[in-house]
Amino acid sequence: MPRSSRNGVIHKALIAVALALALVVERGSAQQTQSAALQRALEFESSGKLREAVTAFREALADAPLTTVILGLERVYYQLGQSDSLLPLLRTLLAGRPRDPTLRTVQLRTLVMLHRDMDAYGTFIDWANSSPRESTPYREYARLLLEQNRTAAADSVLQLAAKQLSSMQELAAELAQLRATMGLWIPSALAWREALKTQPWLDQAGVYALLSAPPEKRDSLRAVLREPPVELGARRLLAGLELRWNAPTEAWSALREVAPNDSTTAAWVEFAAEAEALEAWSIARDAYEAALKQGAAPAVRVKAAAAALNARDPSATIELLAPYGERPDSTVREDVALLRARAYSSLGNPDGVRNVLQLLGEQLRLDIRDDVAREIAWAFVRSGQLDSAKAAIAATGDDPRARAWISLYEGDLQAARNKLRQLGETTADAVLAQALLSRTRVLRSPQAGSAFLALAQRDSAKALHLFVAAAAEVSEAAPLMLAAAARIATARPDTAGPHAVVLWERIVREHPTSPEAAEADLEWARALRKSGDNAAAVARLEHLLLTYPRSALAPQARRELDLARNAIPPEP
């Protein structure tokens, strides 16, 4: 959403809330007629008649709640670009109520916004002097300064607060924010820990404040937040950080140690949803399971089972769904049936899918029932029984998708070409298959078909070898097959390294004019850089940029080159 329209939406929402609040305040009071001016002001404001709104708000000063009126005037004057017009009124009102926090805050905010720094400072001093034991003046001024990245000034304010106030507990969050802005990561983490004890809703603010800590500080931050006693606030903060540092396992490890209770269970469910959003499926499953053990809502069980399936653990999915029994109730029936069918299909267990269909088929919506039925054929595919898969398709009704893929798995490239094109699928396997079929005129390639089948069976080791072997069968698309094998090798920890590099090197040397050559050069260079051989990586990247200067990968190669030459700061 564009910022202007988003601001518009927020603005309208604020007006609606203000209107509702005003009405609530007024309702039941004996002065219902006296709120007319305020109501008129809010209506003028929401319809964009700002000058009329100013007049009405000023009229409302006589009888409406002061806070509502002043905040309304602040909004309207701001939109008119006349914020300074509010200052004389505030001065008048403050003469009678020198300690009113709303008036003081609005005055301070207006002065800071107008860059009248000396006046803002004077206002803050007046306010602090008139409320000697209150933390509010310090908090509001420090927040405003921090919002403007005026770190040193905010530091001075908080140092003054430390001298003047008996406790800094109420300013712990501001102190934490300030320390983070100053790069004092450990003191900041300590202050956040303190703040979260009384303001647990600030955990996300803590995460964003500490997120930019340099990598070398992360262990120290972990130590501070893991320090006993184990507290939910500190651990939620740490878990949030670990998730964003791409360390979901460590994140869950931090959070699961918190003693279980209702708040902890809710935090685990929230955490699981965050992990799902980052596609950390197995961590999401663990967190959901932990919450289930503490009595989380039954719907969480379906989420846990889905996360397990996405984590490629279909056995766990079946196990998690077991408590629903053979005939789950209607609220979860369709989800449970589909998840069970997909889990059995992933396991290559067509009987399991058939059983789901038999037990629940009659009670499912027609489209869900068809989805479940289609999994029978896929279960046969994953167990390598292509003839049975074809028979299952014939028995359950046509499935163009399964037919197209089975043609490919059988190595019948001619048949697969037309069928797959019509599907318009955009999964990684489909894109690779389409690329193969458009690059070769070969009619049959059993090796290529078996390689794709191995991918469907999630047997990447077998797929890797079959793609390499297929390169000989489909010579026009040989670099494509080798690149597919190399990508698998890169992703597999046991074969990454020399094996992948050998394949990338083979593409560069044997197929230098192929579309994969630039990628091969880049990946080869990355592997060299990863192994610490920067000089060789530089040579490869220069080769790429000189040989394929118009490649879409040239910008990436230049960035890698800058990193290899130490021309830019290392990536965190």
Partner 1 sequence: MSLSHSFVRYALFLALAAPRAADAQHLLIPMDDAQRQHLKAYGLTFNALKEGMRAEWLLNYRGGAFLLPDAQDVRRKATIDGIAFEPLDGAAVAAIRGELAGSNMDAVPLEKAPKIAVYTPKEAPPWDDAVTLALQYAGITYDKVWDEEVVKGELTKYDWVHLHHEDFTGQLNKLYLGFRDTPWFVAQRDRLLLTAKQLGFATIPMLKGSVAEKIRQFVERGGFLFAMCGATETLGLAIAAHQTDIAGSFADGSPIADDVDAKMDWERAFAFTRAHVEPSPFVNAMSDIDGHQVNVPARRQPLGQFTLFAFSAKLDPVATMLVQDHRTVIPDFYGVTTSFTKSTIKNGVTILAYEEGAPWVKYIHGDYGKGSYTFLGGHDPEDPQHNIGAAPTDLSLHPTSPGYRLILNNVLFPAAKKKPLKT
Q: Does 156 participate in binding partner 1 (rule CB under 8 A)? A: yes
Q: Does 181 participate in binding partner 1 (rule CB under 8 A)? A: yes
Token pair, residue 281, equals: 């499926």
AA letter at 164: Q
Distance in Å, CB of 482 to partner 1, minimum: 15
Token pair, residue 52, equals: 């009329």
Task: Please give the size of the binding site for partner 1, defined by CB under 8 A.
Answer: 45
Query: First vs last Cα of the chain: how many Å apart?
Result: 31
Q: Does 153 participate in binding partner 1 (rule CB under 8 A)? A: yes
Q: Which residue in 111, 128, 145, 379 binds partner 1 (CB under 8 A)?
A: 145
Only segment of 99-107, 116-124, 382-390, 528-536 that touches partner 1 (CB under 8 A): 116-124
Helix 117-130 to helix 151-164 angle (10° resolution) is 20
Residue placing its CB nearer to partner 1 in the complex, 21 or 160: 160
Alpha-carbon distance values, 198 to 194, 296, 436, 570 (Å)? 8, 25, 60, 38
Q: What is the C-alpha separation between 267 and 272, in angstroms, rounded? A: 9
Residue placing its CB nearer to partner 1 in the complex, 419 or 559: 559
Distance in Å, CB of 86 to partner 1, minimum: 20
- Residue 260 is classified by DSSP as P
Q: Does 271 participate in binding partner 1 (rule CB under 8 A)? A: no
Helices (H), 211-349: 218-226, 232-244, 248-256, 262-277, 281-293, 299-310, 314-321, 333-346
List the interface residues with partner 1, window 197-216 (CB under 8 A): 212, 214
Q: Does 246 participate in binding partner 1 (rule CB under 8 A)? A: no
Residue placing its CB nearer to partner 1 in the complex, 293 or 565: 565
* Exposure of 499 in the CB half-sphere (CA atoms within 13 A): 17
Token pair, residue 212, equals: 């930019």
Q: Does 223 participate in binding partner 1 (rule CB under 8 A)? A: no
AA letter at 267: A
Vertex 402 angle, CA 400 and 408, to 5°: 105
Per the CB < 8 A criterion, the answer to whether 65 and 22 are in contact is: yes
Only segment of 68-76, 240-248, 485-493, 553-561 that touches partner 1 (CB under 8 A): 553-561
Only segment of 146-154, 195-203, 235-243, 493-501 that touches partner 1 (CB under 8 A): 146-154
Q: Does 152 participate in binding partner 1 (rule CB under 8 A)? A: yes
Only segment of 144-152, 237-245, 310-318, 384-392 that touches partner 1 (CB under 8 A): 144-152
Distance in Å, CB of 214 to partner 1, minimum: 8
CA-based nearest residue to 322, from 350, 352, 287: 352
Q: Which residue in 33, 427, 513, 532 binds partner 1 (CB under 8 A)?
A: 513
- Interface residue list for partner 1 (CB under 8 A): 115, 117-118, 121, 145, 149-153, 155-157, 180-185, 212, 214, 508-513, 542-543, 545-547, 549, 554-555, 558-559, 561-562, 565-569, 572
